[in-house]
Amino acid sequence: MTEPDVATAPTSAGEPRPPILEVRDLKKHFPIQSSGLIRRNIGAVQAVDGVSFAVPRGGALGLVGESGCGKSTTGRLITRLYDPTSGSMIFDGRDIAKLSNKQMLPLRSEIQMIFQDPYSSLNPRHTVGAIVGTPLRVHKMVPEKKVLDRVRELLEVVGLNPEHYNRYPNEFSGQRQRIGIARALALQPKLLVADEPVSALDVSIQAQVVNLLQDVQREFDIAFLFIAHDLAVVRHFCPDVAVMYLGKIVEIADRETLYSRPQHPYTQALLSAVPDVKQAAIGGRRERIRLEGDVPSPINPPSGCRFRTRCAFAQDICARQEPPLLQIGKSHKVACHFASDLEEMHREPITLNLLGVDRSGTPVDGANPSEELVPEPGFSEDWTDVQTLRKESAGRAGTT
């Protein structure tokens, strides 16, 4: 069986661009060991449990969700700060998930990371020149006598005074994150993982840093995996957005589709908490969707759909069958048995034929469930029409 074509992001000229990174069924489980003299594994924290997505060359994918959903762990897996439990990460044609630390050394310069906390990610005992210049020396990007000149150029690129190379990080305030960006740009990477790059900054500084990252992306054609919980910042920066919940991607789409027509109840709840300036200007207010209960533990997540314990539309099938990440539009995927617009009633499951089950989630005799339940990275040229599938599922449910 041939793999579906992967849709790619358009260039400025309107032509599609191939992905620089393809992540397929990526998992990271942290083992939990018992106490005592003889330690054994008694469980695992399922921090990331089967995520698939693609980042286009020179493009940007936003990764959003509540704290603890696995966003930062995903970023650290891609940079190989963590070793994955399973899955693949195809970066520029090579599966970096299977490479040893020694084999990763030549690729370290091509994948860089901007850390969330600019205070703890910079060594306070080193000057700015040493912090930004160390990657250049380690990877021998420029001759030793030209390192200082290159450091000054990088500081100027990120909006800092080139003469500040001999200062220490504690002498900067809101501009400290710019040092981390300069360090990440030093090796001219193809992919930047930005882990909450503006969450620790003042609002006025946030706008400056986001605009700086956009300028850097356009100038150097760098791809971004932009991890954040601020949906407004992600909408401004990323053409495509993926929503994570408890280690899984529950919805991924282009930003226009995701923000205007979210199909997953969790995405709808997240967006309902974002202030709508346009709606406030004309009067009225978006109804806030309040989720009941706490996020379950990743050590023992709920069966079936992980969001079902907080979902107002959950039914029996949600506890028995995990919903696949189903493509329902040209650039829209969702993992929900009852995916629909917020205004519609979630009545009939759309996954019955795909899973070969009845409305309660019980396998149907003679049914042929799909074998391709692990989603491919990116988007296929073919997708499932939700309205047609809902009618078929309703008809089938009526005959069982």
Domains and CATH numbers, the chain: 19-30+44-251 (3.40.50.300)
Average pLDDT of the residues in 366-374: 73
Average pLDDT of the residues in 251-266: 93
* pLDDT range class, residue 94, cuts 50, 70, 90: very high
- 45: part of which helix (H) or strand (E)? strand 41-56
Integer-rounded Cα radius of gyration of the chain? 23
Average pLDDT of the residues in 141-161: 91
Give the whole-number percent of the chain exceeding pLDDT 90: 51
Q: For the chain, where are the alpha helices, taking DSSP H only?
A: 71-78, 101-108, 128-138, 147-157, 176-185, 203-220, 231-237, 255-260, 265-272, 277-281, 316-320, 352-355, 386-399
- What is the predicted pLDDT for the residue at 246? 95
Q: Burial, 62: exposed, middle or buried (Cβ in 10 Å; 0-12, 13-18, 19+)?
A: buried
Q: What is the pLDDT of residues 324-348, one digit of tens each?
A: 999 988 999 999 999 888 666 667 8
Give the whole-number percent of the chain exceeding pLDDT 70: 88
Q: What is the pLDDT of residues 272-329, one digit of tens each?
A: 887 765 555 555 556 778 888 888 999 999 999 999 999 988 899 999 999 999 998 8
Instruction: Return the DSSP state at 244.
Output: E
Cβ contact 108:190 at 8 Å: no
Q: For 273-345, where are the alpha helices, taking DSSP H only?
A: 277-281, 316-320
CA distances from 19 to 53, 280, 353 (A): 10, 38, 31
Inform me whether the pLDDT recorded for 266 exceeds 90.
Answer: yes
| Locus of tokens 């001999």 | 166
- What is the predicted pLDDT for the residue at 8? 45
Average pLDDT of the residues in 152-180: 89
Q: What are phi and psi of 310, to 5 degrees?
A: -125, 5
- What is the predicted pLDDT for the residue at 174? 73
Inform me whether the pLDDT recorded for 48 exceeds 60.
Answer: yes
Instruction: Return the DSSP state at 363.
Output: B
- What is the predicted pLDDT for the residue at 286? 63
Within 10 A of 287 (CB to CB), how many other CB atoms are there? 8
- What is the predicted pLDDT for the residue at 390? 56
- What is the predicted pLDDT for the residue at 273? 81
Q: What are phi and psi of 41, to 5 degrees?
A: -75, 125
* pLDDT range class, residue 224, cuts 50, 70, 90: very high
* pLDDT range class, residue 129, cuts 50, 70, 90: very high
Within 10 A of 15 (CB to CB), how many other CB atoms are there? 8
- The model's pTM is 0.86
> To the nearest whole number, what is the mean pLDDT of the chain?
85
Average pLDDT of the residues in 201-216: 85
Amino acid at 92: D
* Residues making up the chain, counted from first to last: 400
Q: What is the pLDDT of residues 194-208, one digit of tens each?
A: 998 888 777 878 888
Dihedral in degrees, nearest 10, Cα atoms 391, 395, 396, 400: 150
